[in-house]
Amino acid sequence: MRMKVNVQTPNFAADNKLIAFVEKRLSKLEQFYDRIIFADVFLKVQKTSEKQNKMVEILLSIPGGDLMVKKDAKTFEEGTDECVQSLERQLKKRKQKERAFF
C-alpha cells in the first residue's frame, strides 16, 4: 500500500518539480516503516527578513500516534531533507520499540 502525500502550500503556488521532490523524499520513509498511512506536508513562506524564511512542516500519520516535524531552511528542498532525516530517526525508534513488545 502506497502512502498518500498531501502537499499544501498556503500563500503561494508550488511548481510540480517541488511537489514531486517532496513526494519522492517522503516515499523513502516507507523502507524504514511500512505502515505509514499518509503524510500532510505544509510548505510556508514566512514574512521575515531572514534568509531562512521557508518553513516545512510534515505530519506523518502512523498507527499508534502521529509524528510531526517542523524545520526552517533557505529552500523548501533543504527543509524537506531535514524533516525526512528527522522522521527517519523517529520511525526507526518506533520500530525498535514495537519489536521489543513482540
pLDDT at 19: 96
What is the structure's pLDDT at 68? 97
Residue 44 CA, chain-centre distance (Å), reads: 13
pLDDT for 1 equals 56
**Looking at residue 25, which CATH number applies to its domain?**
3.30.160.100
Residue 75 grid cell: 529552500
pLDDT value, residue 102: 65
Domain residues for 70?
4-101
CB atoms within 10 A of CB 59: 15
Among 60, 46, 56, smallest CA distance to 90 is for 60
So what's the pLDDT on residue 98? 80
Instruction: Chunk the chain into consecutive blocks of 10 residues (it has 102) and report each block's average pLDDT, rounded to whole numbers.
Output: 88 93 96 93 91 95 94 97 97 87 68
Name the E strands within 1-102: 4-8, 38-45, 54-61, 67-73
Q: What is the CB neighbour count within 10 angstroms for residue 44?
A: 19
What is the domain count for the chain?
1
